[in-house]
Amino acid sequence: MKALVPIELIDGRPSPDSLGVLERLAGQGLESWALVCGSSIQEVAQQVARHRCAGVLIAGSEIFATLAPEPRAALIADLITQRGFAVVALATSVLATELAAQIAVHCDASVQWALTAIERDGGGLRGIRATHGDTMRTTATWTATPAVALFRPHECAPGEPGTQAAPVEAVAPAATDLPERVTIELLPGADTSAAALDAADIIVSGGRGLRSPDELDLVRDLADALGGAVGVSLPLVDMGWAPRAMQVGQTGTVVSPRLYIACGISGQIQHKIGIEKSGLIVAINTDKDAPIMSFCDLGIVGDLRMLLPKLAAEVRAARRV
């Protein structure tokens, strides 16, 4: 079964999520081809070729300078017809979701989203989706081809690049007469703190359990002691206590640090989805029945105003030893 994996580029580099999708498909024995679109992408293609794929298709053209999905969707629709791809698999991102939607409509495809896994099922394929607020796993088949598969963000971890490179083949961009109706510009001075959260090894976050913006300093102090970054939950952003860039969660930044400490965060689903890829999750909450107490590794029942300074001091002491 042949699959096509459009590789999303972030700052000119292949996104780890996209490379992770290649790894997942290879794990299921699919013949997957990566697709890289852009200009001057030879080097990127060589990088991608060292991941587990049958080959890398590159479409080098200035028409891909836009972030808008239209030219990519048109090319992918062509490739599906010409080369018989049965599956198009992507990792969810703001842009990938729109691309998947356009492919699906162009090709009258069958679509599954929020996938945590795909599995071979005899000659077919089935997807496992996170549903019902992430409390359930729904297994479903695609009943038409092509099958469009959207994995959840951060669901697929990339493999280590190998020493052998898969072949790289140039394809011609589709002749598209689609006018560019949506202009998308990347704003300068991008939120670097969002990127900082994305890359952070340790994150300490504060939530509604804080009584004033000043109490974020307690959170920051523990983060400093651990050498980590500071995050917040959605309500603090809504109250204007912190910029959106600091928000951890489904609508903010989906994080995957080695250690996540949630201070005064109840653990609503939108926050849960944002943190569940973390290594260790520690929750500090006065309410032992808060949802977060059911999906953490260590739940500390207590008042964060007492606990945070104490924990920061103990961590500093432990690091000095």
Partner 1 sequence: MKIAVCVKMMTGAAVDAADAFLRANRTLPSVLPAFDTHAVEEALRIRERNGGEVMLVSIGAREGLGGLRQALGMGADRAVLLSDSALTNADTAGISRVLAALLRQEAPDLTLFSPWSGDIDGALLVAMTAARLGLPALGQLRSLDIADGRASGVRQAEVGNHALSCPLPCLVEVNDSINKPRSASLKGRAQANAKPVRLMTLTDLFGDAPPVLSRTQIIDIAPAPVTRHPRLVSDKEAAAELIAMLRSHRILA
| Residues 245-274, interacting with partner 1 (CB under 8 A) | 245, 251-252, 258-259, 269-270
Q: Which of 26, 67, 171, 196 binds partner 1 (CB under 8 A)?
A: 67
Cα gap 133→111, rounded to integer Å: 19
Contact flag: residue 217 with partner 1 (CB under 8 A)? no
What token pair was written down for 162?
């190998």
Contact window for partner 1 (CB under 8 A) among 26-34, 41-49, 80-88, 288-296: 288-296
DSSP bridge partners of 259: 202, 280
280 sits near partner 1 (criterion: CB under 8 A): yes
Strand partners, 204: 230, 261
| 77 in Cβ contact with 107 (< 8 Å) | yes
Taking the C-alpha atoms of residue 5 and residue 19, their distance in angstroms, rounded to an integer, is: 9
When the beta carbons of 49 and 296 are compared against partner 1, the nearer one is 296
Q: Which stretch binds partner 1 (CB under 8 A): 23-31, 49-57, 88-96, 164-172?
A: 88-96
Query: What minimum distance in Å lies between the beta carbon of 167 and partner 1?
Result: 30
Determine the Cα–Cα distance for residues 271 and 281; give it in Å rounded to an integer.
12
- Give least dist CB 42 to partner 1, A: 23
Q: What CA–CA distances, in Å, run from 154 to 1, 17, 19, 182, 192?
A: 24, 6, 11, 27, 19
From the list 21, 45, 89, 109, which residue makes contact with partner 1 (rule: CB under 8 A)?
109
Restricting to residues 292-321, name those near partner 1 by CB under 8 A: 293-303, 306-307, 310-311, 314-315, 318-319
Is residue 98 near partner 1 by the rule CB under 8 A?
yes
| HSE-CB of 275 using CA atoms within 13 angstroms | 31
User: Is 65 an interacting residue with respect to partner 1 (CB under 8 A)?
Assistant: no
Residue in this structure with the two tokens 């490379």, named with its chain if needed: 19
Question: With binding defined as CB under 8 A, does residue 120 bind partner 1?
Answer: no
Q: Between β-strands 9-10 and 31-38, what pairing exists: parallel, antiparallel or unpaired?
A: unpaired
Candidate list 43, 184, 213, 287; residue touching partner 1; CB under 8 A? 184
Q: Is 288 in the site for partner 1 (CB under 8 A)?
A: yes
Q: Which is nearer to partner 1, 57 or 149 (CB)?
A: 149
Between CA 321 and CA 93 the distance in angstroms is 43
In the bound complex, what is the minimum distance in angstroms from residue 164's beta carbon to partner 1? Answer: 30
Nearer Cβ to partner 1, position 1 or 292? 292
Closest C-alpha among 146, 153, 120, 131 to residue 20: 153
Q: How buried is 162 (Cβ within 10 angstroms: 0-12 exposed, 13-18 middle, 19+ buried)?
A: exposed
- Smallest distance, Å, CB 33 to partner 1? 23
Site for partner 1 in 122-141 (CB under 8 A): 126, 130-141
Name the maximum alpha-carbon separation found in the chain.
Answer: 66
- For the bound state, the minimum distance from the C-beta of residue 169 to partner 1, rounded and expressed in Å, comes to 28
The site for partner 1, by CB under 8 A, has a size of 91
177: contact with partner 1 by CB under 8 A = no
Choices 21-29, 32-40, 78-86, 186-194; region in contact with partner 1 by CB under 8 A:
186-194
Q: How far is CA 276 from CA 52, 121, 207, 254, 267, in A?
A: 26, 28, 17, 9, 11
What track of x and - describes contact with partner 1 for positions 141 through 170 (by CB under 8 A)?
xxxx-----x--x-----------------
